[in-house]
Structure 1
Amino acid sequence: MHNLVLSPIDPEKLISDISERVTARILKAVQNNNSSTANPEQLLTIQEAANFLNLTVPTIYSKVSKGELPVMKRGKRLYFSSTELMNYLKQGRKKSFTEIEKEAELYLSNKKKG
């Protein structure tokens, strides 16, 4: 059996110790999160790219042959960068009415100046 001796602890020291440990754990969690998102790029197979884009495999092949999709080829295999596919999707984004209005105002104000 173990003999356990309890002694009074200064409340300020206890709070300080707990605070330091919690801070250390939060910093560690944030660093782990940053390191996992530091390199989010992955190489995808054609099936994974089809799932990523929510398209069929034949549609992917068609877009690759037309040069619409960024692709890397190694031997007979096609690989797709998840980052490049995300950029491809973002290029198809349509601007909101507010964004179009702001661009028009900026264009007209630049025309009046020069």
Structure 2
Amino acid sequence: MKDTLTFDQLPEAVSRIQDKLDNIEQLLLQRQEQPMGQDEIMPVAKAAIFLDLAVPTVYSKVCRKELPVNKRGKRLYFYRSELTEWIKSGRKRTAEEIKDEATSKFSLSEKKTKSI
């Protein structure tokens, strides 16, 4: 349980709340600046930051056709949603997910053999 504020602590608490509200307002305004339905396009440097990779590593992955990329002239551009999907595609299943899948496939194959 949190400590109860005293009357003397109220101004500081209200100030902290106001600071937090200002931060939330700034985040919401930044989010509104990006049109909904439009995907953010990123140059190589920003994509590298987003992926937490070095820029040469991004170039290397593009060269090996591992990353989804758009090229305009000599410039490379990346869609945030495509990079997000690329990250998600590398997800490793948990042992429980693998077990559940094996169980469901096994039960389906049992049903098929019983019906034959």
Query: Per the shorter chain, which TM-score range?
Result: 0.5 to 0.7
Once the two structures are aligned, what percentage of the paired residues are identical?
A: 44
Task: Show the counterpart of 2:98.
Answer: 100
1:62 aligns with 2:96: no
| Cα distance in 2 for residues equivalent to 1:104 and 1:63 | 33
| Cα distance in 1 for residues equivalent to 2:105 and 2:36 | 37
Please list every run of 5 or more consecutive structure 1 residues that lacks an aligned counterpart in the other structure: 1-32
2:56 aligned partner, one-letter code: P
TM-score w.r.t. the length of structure 1 is 0.65
Compare CA radii of gyration and give the structure with the larger one. 1
1:50 aligns with 2:48: yes
| Structure-to-structure mapping, 1:8-19, within 5 angstroms | none
| Cα distance in 1 for residues equivalent to 2:103 and 2:47 | 39
TM-score w.r.t. the length of structure 2 is 0.64
1:76 to 74, 77, 87: 74
2:83 aligned partner, one-letter code: L
| Cα distance in 2 for residues equivalent to 1:80 and 1:113 | 47
1:94 aligned partner, one-letter code: K
Task: Show the counterpart of 1:23.
Answer: none
1:73 aligned partner, one-letter code: K
CA RMSD of aligned residues (A): 2.0
- Tell me by how many angstroms 1:37 deviates: 8.0
| Cα distance in 2 for residues equivalent to 1:71 and 1:47 | 13
Please list every run of 5 or more consecutive structure 2 residues that lacks an aligned counterpart in the other structure: 1-30
| Cα distance in 1 for residues equivalent to 2:103 and 2:36 | 38
- 1:8-62 deviation per Cα after TM superposition (whole angstroms, max 9, x unaligned): xxxxxxxxxxxxxxxxxxxxxxxxx89x684262110000000000000000000
- 1:56-84 deviation per Cα after TM superposition (whole angstroms, max 9, x unaligned): 00000000000000000001100001000
1:112 aligned partner, one-letter code: E
